[in-house]
A and B are shown apart, each in its own frame.
Chain A
Amino acid sequence: MAGIVGYGVHIPIYRIKVEDIAKVWSEDAESIKKGLNIREKSVPGKDEDAATIAVEAARRAIRHAGIDATELGALYAGSESHPYAVKPTATVVSAGIEAGNKLMVADLEFACKAGTAGMQMIMGLIDSGMIRYGMAIGTDTSQGRPGDALEYTASAGGAAFILGKDKNGIIANVVKTVSFTSDTPDFWRREGASFPSHGGRFTGEPGYFRHITGATKLLFEETGMKPSDFDYAVFHQPNGKFPKMVAAQLGFTEKQIERGLMTPIIGNTYSGSSLIGLAATLDVAKPGQKILVTSFGSGAGSDSFAIEVTDNIDSKRKNLEKVMDIVERHKTYIDYSAYLKNRGSIRKT
């Protein structure tokens, strides 16, 4: 089966603290920080969008994989904040990495799981022999309606994963992947609307929890694996609390999920979320270790992967930029007014 040959992440340098958002709405920062398990979130620069984030992540992935971008046979960009309604983000990315013209390219959208959906599609193309390498990207600059609970978590970031079949290049094999899908109206955004709507706090159970446990249990059934077989687990992270709760429900320990739990310090990067968590986990994983990843996209569905790290992972790290280094690089705190300006809510007339 296809495996991961390289990955790259990009997170904008700007951060806003929960305190600075809570102050504007006269809310209690401490109870929000505790309730959502989040301290701060990333904010895109004025000149960043889902395409620029994807390009930076993709360039890092190409360097890590050690392949030429023209060797990619397919490139899928998953996002819920594609800069154009019509004009694929993935075309900008393929030009941004000089991938040439001979490749299959498309944009995907499935709330927060479009990146992992892209990985499954790339795997199919590789295993069928149609392509040698392919890239799947999850990238977003998500926005919460001002004053909405989502404003504390909706952030910006992305990850690009290159998959291939080349035994000497694979750093982690995908042992198995399954999905669990239903028509669930937990979160949506209509064409032309600036902000998403959601069903409120009661949608967690039929949305996030049902689909993540559904996909993960299906993976257990089909592989015969159990939580204790995994060294690490990564679940989609709409906040810092849900992944801890779903991990406990499924029988995983806090120790298994803590390495991949990035939302407390960068927020919910939507399509980037579970992939950035996987990248942070691969940054420290040792040969032979096993990683479970289950994404979630509202609407709703989950993709679950059983991944096993190979001996190549150490030697390939020489060209790797690690997630925690990217998180800390030039990190700059901004206040709420600068935050509004970065998001384009305040403009000079």
Chain B
Amino acid sequence: MERSSSSLWRKIRARYNLVGNVCENCSTAYFPPRIVCRKCGRKSKMEEKRFNGDGEIFSFTKIRVPPDTFKDEAPYFIGIIKLKEGPMVEGHIIDNGVEPEIGGKVRAQFRKMYVEGDEGLIYYHYKFEPL
């Protein structure tokens, strides 16, 4: 993950609260935020938007052999979530006893993603909980 706390700091709003943006010209929503709208180019009018975290599972997969960072987590699910407002977001799916399924409704929750050893930073992040 991050090599520096400054890169964490820049991404906090996106990671904690799914803050992306929307083009006021064509209403297309983006997460992560884009500087220019893909459709409108020079005509784009980007406004910050906090997505409310509701969405559905577009696809998912079970991770059995995780990267070192998540070695204590496996097995766990990650998925592509289609947010209610449109954007596709990748994220961890919380194990709450509800088997993930395509089209299944989820909601973003605030969780610990990764802890840097015994002395480093704690990285908080959204994860999606099946409803």
Contacts and interface: CB of A to CB of B under 8 A. Distances in A.
Interface of A: 13, 45-49, 51-52, 55-56, 59, 83-84, 92, 95-96, 98, 330, 332, 341, 344, 347-348
Interface residues of B, number: 22
A78 B110 CA distance: 18
A52 B124 contact: yes
Contact of B12 (A48, A95, A341): A95
B97 A52 contact: no
Interchain residue pairs A-B with the least CB separation, the first 4: A55-B110, A47-B111, A330-B96, A47-B112
A59 B94 CA distance: 18
Contacts of A330: 96-98
Contacts of B113: 47
Contacts of B109: 52, 56
Contacts of A45: 94-95, 111
B5 to A, nearest CB: 11
B16 interface: yes
A191 to B, nearest CB: 15
Contacts of A96: 16-17, 110, 124
Contact of B16 (A47, A48, A95, A348): A95
B127 interface: yes
B38 interface: no
Nearest to A44: B112
Given A51-B124, A98-B50, A348-B71, A13 B112 contact: no
A249 to B, nearest CB: 40
Contacts of A51: 112, 122, 124
A52 B111 CA distance: 5
B47 interface: no
A46 B124 contact: no
B54 interface: no
A46 B73 contact: yes
A311 B12 CA distance: 39
Dominant secondary structure at the B interface = mixed
A339 to B, nearest CB: 15
Nearest to A83: B122
B2 interface: no
Interface in B55-111: 71-73, 94-98, 109-111
A341 B122 CA distance: 19
Nearest to B53: A59
Contacts of A55: 16, 110, 124
Nearest to B113: A47
A83 B112 CA distance: 11
Contacts of B43: none
B13 interface: yes
15 contacts: A45-B94, A46-B72, A47-B73, A47-B94, A47-B111, A47-B112, A47-B113, A49-B122, A52-B111, A56-B109, A59-B110, A96-B16, A332-B96, A332-B97, A341-B72
Nearest to B112: A47
Contacts of B111: 45, 47-48, 52
B13 A95 contact: yes
A84 B50 contact: no
Contacts of B73: 46-47
A42 to B, nearest CB: 14
Contacts of B16: 55, 95-96, 98
